[in-house]
Homo-oligomer: A and B are copies of this chain.
Amino acid sequence: MEYQEAKDKFISTWGSLGTLWGINKAMAQIQSLLFISTKPLSMEDIMEELKISRGNTSMNLRQLMDWGIVTKELVPGERKEFFTTEKDVQELARHIAKERSRREIKPVIKVLKEVSSIKDDGTVKTKELIKQTKALHDLAETADTMMNKIVNQEHNWITKSLMKLIK
């Protein structure tokens, strides 16, 4: 496999994985492109490489910046803006996990808390609703806490310790 083929394969695979971390295809592809680029890219570069429109590029870059995984770079002597993504996978994972937790998981945990706290009117169905949503709440909260802690550790420390623990 040659460079170009490998590059295309990476971008399209990583792009389609976007759903897994809750972002759309264009966003994921832009991030991929930046991730393997050896230098900051301009909007022009990105449009050209991915064959997407200016508007699309602009909107998705903005979202990537909102997620905190892409930043504007000022290149001296250049008028236009350049972009780079976080290059360290560990740091990238940290940002993504933190954002997903904030945007999606925490709000759900809140609802589960509310629902599981309704007053027990003594009926079987109410008891079941309370019991099951409570179980889900506890699971979601534990998972969320764990994920955030794991992802905030030093890479080697956590991998080593966990692997040892789990093996």
Contacts and interface: CB of A to CB of B under 8 A. Distances in A.
Is the interface on chain A under 10, 10 to 19, 20 to 34, or 35 or more residues?
35 or more
Contacts of A118: 1-3, 6
A20 B105 contact: yes
Contacts of A22: 19-20
A74 to B, nearest CB: 22
A77 B38 CA distance: 69
A35 interface: yes
A118 B6 CA distance: 7
B93 A139 contact: yes
A54 interface: no
A136 B89 contact: yes
A162 B139 contact: no
User: Nearest 8 pairs between A and B by C-beta?
Assistant: A13-B111, A149-B166, A89-B135, A6-B118, A89-B139, A6-B115, A10-B115, A1-B118
Given A13-B112, A35-B136, 5 more contacts: A3-B129, A13-B115, A20-B105, A36-B128, A36-B133
